[in-house]
Amino acid sequence: MALLRVTVMAMAAVVYFSSVGIRRHVGPLALSVLAVAVVYSLWIPLAKPYMHLSDRAATRFGAGSLVADVALITLWCHATGGASSEFWALYPIAVISVALKYDLVEVVATAVGIAVLYVAVMMVDGGLPITGILLRPSVIVLTGLAVGLLARQRRTGVEEREALKRMADRSSAALQRQQLVVERLQQMDDAKTEFVAIASHEFRTPLAAIMGVLNTLRSHGDDIDPAIREELLDGAAIQASRLARLVDDLLTVSRIENGGFFLNIQEVDVADLVRDALKASRTEEVTTVELNGVPRVSCDADHIVRVLANLLENAKKQSPQGSAIELAVHDDVASARFVVRDHGAGVPPHERRRIFERFRQLGRGSGKSGAGLGLYIARTLIEAHGGTIGVDAARSGGAEFFFTIPAVVRIEADSQPLPTEASSAVVN
């Protein structure tokens, strides 16, 4: 718009000065109008007063610029011959400039207004011949109608393109969401398939061991040395405990997802939780314990012991034979922070969130046993206490699993249900 204004002004000045001495003489009014037009035309692109205006203010500025343009054209026509001035042709150019920004109605209304203004001013200025009255305003109005229709077509095309772009963006976003859902479902399906294979192996291994002991005792029970018989029975008992734990994990997951699990919150000594967890995980001999100023916590003791024992068992399985496990409890503002460190291979950063999902197994592919439910159950139990659980890299190498539970848990009754999977979140 500013460039068009400067170009038109320059062309008008060239036409005017080229005809001086032939058709007209230089007049002071024409020079004054031309000077004002030059200043006005250069001020707008250089000062850019339209920048940083709101939509409403920008509309008012555009209307003001149009009024200024029409006023300058009218003064220029008056200064260069009035009704006989050929510079009336600048009015259709002003109408065209309106069409660059506005729609059909605005363009036609502007053309009609300019035509009426031109006729009125020229009649006062000395009168127009009948041909001028019929021709020039008609050209201005027809120009407005023609460029207004083009403006309407252009705006319609722009709106259609924008609508198509919005539709394409929505379709693309919906497709991306569907792809994410499909990928997530595929991952869940793959994880479930792998889980079924792992669970089948975990069931089959202890059952095979128990069946082997029973068959041995049935076939050779009387001939087996009592010490060997006792060793076989101990092994069968261990495998039965392993089998019972797997079944318990599956039932626990089922109760969690069905909303049928509850917490029994009581004040418990931290030392008792640690002692019971060490005993349950059979890691007393390889674990160093550090208790730092957290004597008691409010929690469901059985569930916290289960979580802590699971972390200790994982640490033992992931650590080299005979290496130490570190267990520490710290005061963390209004919470107690339990930390279990091992000296194994650690957990890759991209796996630190996923291992707390169901159907994920810690150390998969390393030959370690496990159905991959322990950390999912641990995460759900900790979040039910209002705490967080996660894993980092230990400073001395290996993994550092941690969880926090509030030092005081406020409850309205003696028990509260665990949240379902939809309301839980993994904390990294």
Residues 132-155 pLDDT 10s = 777 888 999 999 999 999 989 888
Task: Summarize the confidence of residues 182-188 as an average pLDDT.
Answer: 84
Which residues make beta-bridge pairs with 386?
Answer: none
| Beta-carbon contacts of residue 331 (< 8 Å; ≥ 6 apart) | 292, 293, 294, 337, 407
For the ranges 93-97, 179-183, 196-200, 307-311, the lowest mean pLDDT is seen at 196-200
Could you tell me if 321 and 391 are in contact, meaning their C-beta atoms sit under 8 angstroms apart? no
3-state DSSP assignment of residue 416: strand
Q: Rounded to a whole number, what is the distance in angstroms from the first to the last CA of the chain? A: 56
The per-residue pLDDT for 412 is 40
Please calculate the CA angle 341-336-399 and round it to the nearest 5 degrees: 15
Q: Rg of the Cα trace of the chain?
A: 43
Domain with CATH 3.30.565.10 in the chain: 262-423
Confidence of residue 427 (pLDDT cuts 50, 70, 90): very low
The per-residue pLDDT for 109 is 92
Backbone torsions φ then ψ of 100, nearest 5 degrees: -70, -20
Domain with CATH 1.10.287.130 in the chain: 183-257
224 exposure class (CB count in 10 Å sphere: 0-12, 13-18, 19+): middle
Could you tell me if 377 and 384 are in contact, meaning their C-beta atoms sit under 8 angstroms apart? no
Cα separation, 398 vs 314, in Å, equals: 12
CATH class of the domain at 262-423: alpha beta
Cα dihedral sign for 283, 285, 291, 297? positive
Which residues make beta-bridge pairs with 290?
Answer: 328
Q: Whole-model pTM?
A: 0.48
Could you tell me if 99 and 147 are in contact, meaning their C-beta atoms sit under 8 angstroms apart? yes
Nearest to 315 by CA among 196, 186, 428, 401: 401
Tell which wins on pLDDT, 109 or 229. 109
As its CATH architecture, domain 183-257 has Orthogonal Bundle (1.10)
